[in-house]
Chains A and B, each alone.
Chain A
Amino acid sequence: NAGVTQTPKFQVLKTGQSMTLQCAQDMNHEYMSWYRQDPGMGLRLIHYSVGAGITDQGEVPNGYNVSRSTTEDFPLRLLSAAPSQTSVYFCASSYLGNQETQYFGPGTRLLVL
């Protein structure tokens, strides 16, 4: 049971480039989410999904797209990277019941030059 996995661990992009951050979980969790964490700050929700084919925006969705074609995978796409998107990105998942624990992936550290 690998839990929540993320790739890559670290990425450098130039302004304007696009890329996809991968997230997968093998716990059959319905709920998956993406957060960004900036230095010295908390976790801000970017997008989330409550099941395959269903996605919605969080607190800071601009510049990011998501899709959920399977229960296991929830990729995050940066359409045109900007220096303001330099951050650490965490994927998380949980069951969709009441009072369910959320588990985090190891994170992707992104630097946009």
Chain B
Amino acid sequence: GENVEQHPSTLSVQEGDSAVIKCTYSDSASNYFPWYKQELGKRPQLIIDIRSNVGEKKDQRIAVTLNKTAKHFSLHITETQPEDSAVYFCASHNYGQNFVFGPGTRLSVLP
């Protein structure tokens, strides 16, 4: 079955710097890749997603890139702010299958 790895497990950056989190997946049939942000004590919230017919998607300070050949996708956060501090989860999905989540990355943005 599908396996999703996520790196790094923890990431600390200075406010204003960029943060990059990378995920790799094993099932070449996976075609939908969402990213969730989870603040302490809250539910995971979708922040951006990418579909397999697209290589990059951007929404203000957040972008996601997808490399289907290498089977990896990355979350890029620019101009980080303290409110970006949270745990970020990547996931992969294939039609008819369940979502498979990465183990998460704890991002700390230091003021």
Contact = CB atoms under 8 A, between A and B. Distances in A.
Interface string A8-24: 00000000000000000
Interface residues of B, number: 22
Nearest to A99: B32
A102 B102 contact: no
B61 to A, nearest CB: 20
User: Which DSSP category, helix, strand, loop or mixed, fits chain A's interface?
Assistant: loop
B64 to A, nearest CB: 14
B93 A43 contact: no
B43 A90 contact: yes
B31 A98 contact: yes
Interface string B28-46: 0001101010000011111
Contact of A99 (B36, B45, B93, B103): B93
A103 interface: yes
Given A42-B102, A43-B44, A98 B34 contact: no
Contacts of B51: 99
B101 A43 contact: yes
A98 B95 contact: yes
A74 interface: no
A92 B99 CA distance: 11
Interface string A76-113: 00000000000000101000011111111111000000
The 8 closest A-B pairs by CB, nearest first: A99-B32, A98-B95, A104-B43, A42-B103, A43-B101, A99-B51, A104-B44, A42-B101
Interface of B: 31-32, 34, 36, 42-46, 49, 51-52, 89, 91, 93, 95, 98-99, 101-104
